[in-house]
Each structure stands twice: as C-alpha cells, then as structure tokens.
Amino acid sequence: MASSQHFTHPRMRGWDRLTIGQKRVIWAWGFLAVPILFYAIIRFYPTFTAFYLSFTDWNLLRSPEFIGTANYQRMFADAAFWQVFRNTFAYLIWGTPISLVIAFVISYYLDRVRLMHGFIRALYFLPFLTTAAAMAWVWRWFYQPVPIGFINGMLSSIGLPQQPFLRSTSQALPAIMVTAIWAGLGFQIIIFLAGLRAIPQTYYEAARVDGLGEWAILTRITLPLLRPTTVFLVVFSSIGFLRIFDQVYNMTTNDPGGPLNSTKPLVLMIYQSAFSSYDMGYAAAQTVVLFTILLIVSLIQLYLLRRR
Amino acid sequence: MRNFLASSMLTIAAGLVVVPAQAQTVEIEYWQYIFDTRVRAMDQLIERFHEEYPDIRVRQTTFPYADYQTRIVAAHTAGQGPDVVQLFYGWLDNFVAGELIQPLSEARFPAAEIEADFFPIVGAMQRDGQYWGLPTAVRSLALFINNDLFEEAGLDPANPPQTIDELRDAAISAVKYDSAGNITSVGLTLEMGAQDHHWWREGLVRQFGGVPYDDDGNVAYDSDAGLAALEFVTNMQTEDRVGTTGFMDEGQAAFRAGMAAMTIDGTFRLGSFNSISHFNWTVAELPANDDGLRSNYASYFANAIGARAEGERREAAETFLQFLTSPEAMEVWLEVVGELPARREVAQTDKNLTDPVYGPFLAALDYAHTTRFVDEAAQRQVAIDMVNRVVLQNQSPADSLAAAAAAEQAIIDRSR
C-alpha cells in the first residue's frame, strides 16, 4: 500500500516525510514571510538607505556623492539644530509626564462614575478622532491677539493684559504643547480605563476587608498592577512627543517652527531640509539623529519600567 | 466567409489610411500646479491652440503646489516628464543643474527679440546668453488701501502716500486701539513672512541707498542702507505701533476683514480681494523715497521646454511655448488669472495703464527687480528672523542685520 502511494504521488514524498512539528514550522514561516518581506522592503531598506544618504550631498536633482561626515559636522555646528534638539526634548520631558498624570487622574475618577459614563468617555475620546490639522487651526485662532483671539478676548474683558502666546519665544512652545496633550488625552484615558478594569475586583475587596485606605489601595494595588499599561503608554506617548509635527506645523505656518525656531521640533526641521530646501543628505543625517534618540529613549524606558 | 474577408480587408485598408494621419498628430504634455484660475486659463488657451494647430494635441497635467519639484524630479528619474513645464523663475538654477529642462532654440526665440519685447525682469531666465524659458505673465507689488478706514482717519484714498515717510504717517493716523491699548485695526500690515521681505529687499534697501546683493549674488545689505531699511520696518512695530506681525493671523486676512488700512501685496491677491463687498479699496504704487526713487519686486512663473522633448515633440513644444508667450495668450491670462502680460506692448496699453487696479502694478514693471533666490523659503526665513530678533528679543537692529546677512550668505554659499 505504502509503495503504491509512493509511485502515484512522487511529489508528495518530501512533504509526507516531514513530521507534524516540522510542517507547522514551515507553515508558520510561510505566513510570517509576508510581513517580514513587507517590512524588509517598505521599512528596513529605506531606513538603511537613509543611513547611506546621510553621508552624501544628495539634493534630489543631482546624483548623490559621498561626502563623509560633512552633514553631521554641519549639523552639530548649527545653533539652530541644538535649539531644535532642546525643543524636541522639551516636548518629551514636559509632555509625557503631564499628559500621563492628567490621563490617569481622569480615568481613575471616570472609572467610578456610573452616570453617563459612556458619554463622558466619548467626550474625552473625541479630540483623538479629530484631524490634528483641523484642531491645530482652531487652537491657532484661540491664541490670536484681540480682536479675534478667544483667550485674549477673555483676558481683555476681565482687565488682564493680553498675552502674545504663539508670537512669543517663551510662550509658544507651551501653548502648542497644551494642544498636543489635549489631543492625545482621549487615547490615554481609554487605555488607562481598560487597564483599571483589568484589575480583579477581589484584590480591592480583600484590601478593604483588611482595612486599607484609599491611598494605600492606589499605591499598593492599582499603580503596581497598572504597570504594563503605564509602560505601554509611556513608550507610546514619548515616541509621539518626540515625533510631534502636525500641531507645530499647522499652528505656525506663517513662520514654521517659529518665532525664532522656539517651537520647531526635529521632525519639522527634517521636513524643511528635505522638502523645502531639497537638502536630502542633510535631512537624512537629521533623521539618523532622530532614529537614535527614539531608540535610546525607548530602550531606557523599557529598562526602567521592566518587571523586577 | 468572402464577406468576412472583404470586410476585414476594408478595415485593414481603412486602418492604413487612418494610421498615417494619426502619426502626424503630435501629443505633448503640459505641467503646472493646481490653482483654479490658472488651470482654467490654460484650458482655454489649449482649446484655442488646438484650433490653430490641429496636428498638435496638448494634454494638461496638474498637481498640488507643495509637490511641485518632487513630482517633476520623480518623473524625470523614472524617464518621464513634461514637454512644456511651468517653473518659478527662482528655481531655474536647480532645474538646469538637474537637467530637467533644455534651452530655447535661438532660431525660434531670438534673444534680441525677447529683450526688445519683454520686460527686463525676464533676464532672470537667461544663463550664459541662452534663454531657458519665458513667462506668459508677471506679478509685482502694490499698496492696497481700505478707502473707508482711510477716510475715517482723515486721509484721502484718491491721494495715496507718495513717499515712505508719508506711508508711515498715514499708518500712524489710521491705526486703531482699544481702551487697553491693544491694536484693533492696523495702519499697515507688517508681515515679513508674506510680501514684506520682498519689499524690504528690493524696495526699501535700494530706496535707502543700498543694494540687497552685489553683482556676484552675494549679500550686500549689511550696510547703512540695510540698517536704515530694517529700522524703518521694525520701528513701525516697536515705536509707532502701527501694526503687529500675526495680527488677524496674517496681513491679507486682516485687510480682507476690513481691519487693516493698508497692506502691501501682489497681483495674485486680486482674485481674493475682488470678492470684498463690505468696503471699497484702491491700489497705489509702492511709495518712493524722498528723491522720488521707486523700486519694486517682480516675479513670475515661466514656461520651459522639458529635457525629454526631442525631435517633432520638441518642435511641437516650442510651437506651444510660442503660443503661450504670444500677445493673444497674455490677454487671456490677464483676463482670467489677473496676472500682468510679460510683453510691454500688451501690458502698457492706454487701457491697462489707466486701469485703477492694474495701472499701479504695471507702472512698477519698469523699475522692478527680481531676486536671484537659491532657496526662497530659507532666505525668507532669514528675513522673518531678522525682524523677530529685534521685535521679540530686543536685539539691536545692527546686530540682527549682521546675523541675517551671515545666515543668508551661508545659504547662498552652500548652493554653489
């Protein structure tokens, strides 16, 4: 019987000899090959090309020529680059903790609200669904001077001096950061809420039976058990703030990243170098720096927040 | 079967007759960016061109302005591209270096004729004696005046400011404040990010006795004239308080809303201002200096022959370009887009010169300059920052001017 099958299906021979385990491995790799190929071609190949381009003087029109580390030397000697570097970290260092604390506080209390819980949650989530560009333009009008600026109109009506907001080198970055925090809040609240709901109620019941106060419950049970959620949100929102672009660009189109580069993040600088000055080599060098920062920040965060 | 054969033969024969006729039709591609009136004007021109030259078919391709250069370069890399393409005069060096366009043939576009018939600003399309493109229309700057606000301030819109000092005085009279001292309506819009940087470069610096760039294209405004020009602009914001940058978000919005007595803007703004219905406005020439010297900035999009056009396509492309730069095409462009004809004889007719709107813009073309930008956005940013350092950070105008000159020279040096 075995020999007759052998002759009738010669091509099946190799496949049939494999064990179930081996077949599973082949099937798994067969399916995995699709995303791996996709990533290799769409993600990794351009990434490596960017590394190469950062050592060239490519300007879109002329073919790239190798110029060594000239782009990096120019970048590190450029005061504007360091300003942009500081701005990028300002968005990260202020934006991430502030947004997470606010998101946690809101979701902590929202979790206890029963009345119109879904409606309130939807309200918080709404900004996340809105186009960043549209939101940025609305905020841009809020921040205008009188007679059209909403906030300055309110300040003036109660006799306070109007504030320059986006026209100030010191106020512009916080003014933009507020909108970015507000825009990302909905997503963070939803994730925190999911994390809070995943903590078994029995822990809380046991804690209350043992007579623990609210503060002790928060610090001993809620926060430690929320660690995976927090890790995810810290990494996710850090990357978001390091890559901030939409809000800044749309709120400062008349003077992109201004005034005097005070709001310009690295991504906007990359965009201008690449698609306004067509300085592709220089833009690639800036991209490599951004990539390195993202990598280091993510690794540090994963290390600090790892499970002990 | 015989019927079938016969009909097949007939079809083939018909095909043979038709094919040579089709072969004589040359199809060429025209590329420009999407701007409603420009696209409409070009559609009209192509229709007329088809009537005149039935053996040439022109296909118009448009794309968003932001994608302009990337599209053309990407197409070029892929071995494709337009036969006739529109480009901003300031991009010429990049387009030549990238071998995206080819020079016009001397036979069909004699340089002597171009220089005699067109305004001198088309010289910016010339490199080493060869012309690389020609504009249909050009744009210049003028002073827009809100008549109602002018009259309210006791000024006469029929008697616009003739000198830059009169301009400043008029702005001081026309600005309005609320009880807290906040500006509620500006005397003059002050936006380096809009057209003011052109006015400063080619207008004020020259009117204060300097030049913005030397003959080799190096920055030359770090001078007493440049300083006086910068102080003129910044003082209006810091001392005279006739306006602030960012008022109503941008100058043209402030003017449209009736909250700016004056604004300096280009011909391209006419389309937007023409729909203003709640106040009257007039156009005046940019004011002169005390010696009567006027200066203006003119710019244009030129049409050039794509590098890919060869043989009969090149012939057809040049025929189309000749048509696009003909008096007929310029009249259509003026009517539909509102941009000024690039040929003197078409532009400076009595009808146009006495036109209350086009007159001041046209008068400017005789004394207008074009700036040889190497990276317009980056050079504009230098001008924006120069004023911001003075206005927002209280830096001395002299220091800010020197910093701006160094920064812009660095941009120019890198492009070489």
Q: What DSSP letter does each residue of B67-83 carry, written as one string?
A: GHHHHHHHHHHTT---S
pLDDT tens per residue, range B178-223: 888 899 999 999 999 999 999 999 999 999 999 999 999 999 999 9
Q: What's chain A's average pLDDT?
A: 89
Cα distance between residue B214 and residue A263, in whole Å:
34
Q: Is the pLDDT of residue B112 over 90?
A: yes
Residue pair B368/B140 in contact by the 8 Å Cβ criterion:
yes
Give me Rg for the CA atoms of chain A. 27
Which residues does residue B265 pair with via DSSP β-bridges, in sequence order?
B142
Report the percentage of chain B scoring pLDDT > 70: 94
What is the interface size between A and B, counted as CB pairs within 8 Å? Answer: 85
Residue pair A187/B410 in contact by the 8 Å Cβ criterion:
no
Which residues does residue A66 pair with via DSSP β-bridges, in sequence order?
A56
* Assigned CATH for A76-304: 1.10.3720.10
Token digits of residue B369: 């300059």
pLDDT tens per residue, range A148-179: 889 999 998 888 888 999 999 999 999 999 99
pLDDT score for B1? 45
The alpha carbon of residue B63 and the mean position of all alpha carbons in its chain are separated, in whole angstroms, by: 18
Cα distance between residue A17 and residue A19, in whole Å:
7
Q: How confident is the model at residue A12 (pLDDT cuts 50, 70, 90)?
A: low
* Segment B228-235 mean pLDDT: 97
Which CATH number applies to B25-139+299-369: 3.40.50.720, 3.20.20.60, 3.40.190.10, 3.40.50.2300?
3.40.190.10
* Segment A200-218 mean pLDDT: 91
Q: What is the DSSP letter of A244?
A: -
Give the count of beta carbons closer than 10 Å to the beta carbon of residue A182.
17
Higher-scoring residue by pLDDT: B88, A16: B88
pLDDT score for B24? 75
Hey, of B241, B391, B392, which one would you mutate to test binding to chain A, going by the most A CBs within 10 A of its CB? Answer: B392
pLDDT tens per residue, range B80-94: 889 999 999 988 888
* Segment B292-300 mean pLDDT: 95
pLDDT score for B19? 44
**CB within 8 Å: B246 and A276:** no
Predicted complex ipTM:
0.84
Among the partner residues A61, A156, A272, nearest to B94 by beta-carbon distance: A61
Superfamily name and number for B141-297+374-414 = Periplasmic binding protein-like II (3.40.190.10)
Q: Which residues from chain B sit within 8 angstroms of residue A258, using beta carbons?
A: 381, 384-385, 388
Q: How confident is the model at residue A116 (pLDDT cuts 50, 70, 90)?
A: confident
Nearest Cα of chain B lies from the Cα of A158 at a distance, in angstroms, of 11
Q: Where are the domains of chain A?
A: 2-53, 76-304
Q: Where are the domains of chain B?
A: 25-139+299-369, 141-297+374-414
pLDDT score for B223? 96
Residue pair A136/A127 in contact by the 8 Å Cβ criterion:
no
Residue pair B186/B244 in contact by the 8 Å Cβ criterion:
yes
Q: Is the pLDDT of residue A302 over 90?
A: no
Q: Which residues from chain B sit within 8 angstroms of residue A156, using beta carbons?
A: 178, 180, 182
What phi and psi, each to the nearest 5 degrees, are found at residue B36?
-40, -55
pLDDT score for B13? 47
* Segment B279-307 mean pLDDT: 95
Q: What is the DSSP letter of A147?
A: T
